[in-house]
Amino acid sequence: MKLLFKQRLFSWLDSYDIFDESGAVMFKVKGELSFSHLLRIYDANDNAIGCVKQKIFSFLPRFELYRGEEYMGCINREISLFKPHYNIDFCGWQVQGNFFEWDYQITDALGYNVATISKQLFNWTDTYIIDVHDPKDALYSLMLVLAIDAEKCSRKD
């Protein structure tokens, strides 16, 4: 299952539309005014289904992931020299990225591929392709992409 993650061009806060392979909106992400990143995830019918919240007081950026109101886990960046590494307390998954921080691989505890994330270059806004092996992991994979993208934005600010 492939998802197209596309940031909205004219938006004051982080807002994204996530499309399935047929071009239909599968998820909507709306940023909220906050002291840190706060991203709410909605299904195609505008039902709130998840949230990514940045913790304010942490040495390295840390993001908590929620399904509905239920805490699912967190992700934070680890200190690394060449490739980005993230510590994930979530589903037993691991994430590793390439040197340019455009492409990522999500694997489970056994090393099996959960999702592959690729940034599309030469677009007006941040655009990613999320190739999810099992459709039931689509929301969780999206949460990780949102957290990684927000962490990168935090470093630039």
pLDDT at 34 over 80: no
- Give the per-residue pLDDT at 151: 82
Rounded percentage of the chain residues whose pLDDT exceeds 70:
87
Across the range 51-80, mean pLDDT stands at 87
Q: What is the mean pLDDT of the chain?
A: 85
User: What pTM value is reported for the model?
Assistant: 0.86
pLDDT at 45 over 90: yes
- Give the per-residue pLDDT at 10: 53
Stated as kind and residue range, the H or E segment containing 62 is strand 62-67
- Give the per-residue pLDDT at 24: 94
Cβ-contact 116, 131 below 8 angstroms = yes
CA distance 137 to 139: 6
pLDDT at 156 over 60: no
What's the start-to-end Cα distance of the chain, in Å? 33
pLDDT, tens only, 128-154? 899 999 999 999 999 998 998 888 766
The more confidently predicted of residues 13 and 143 is 143
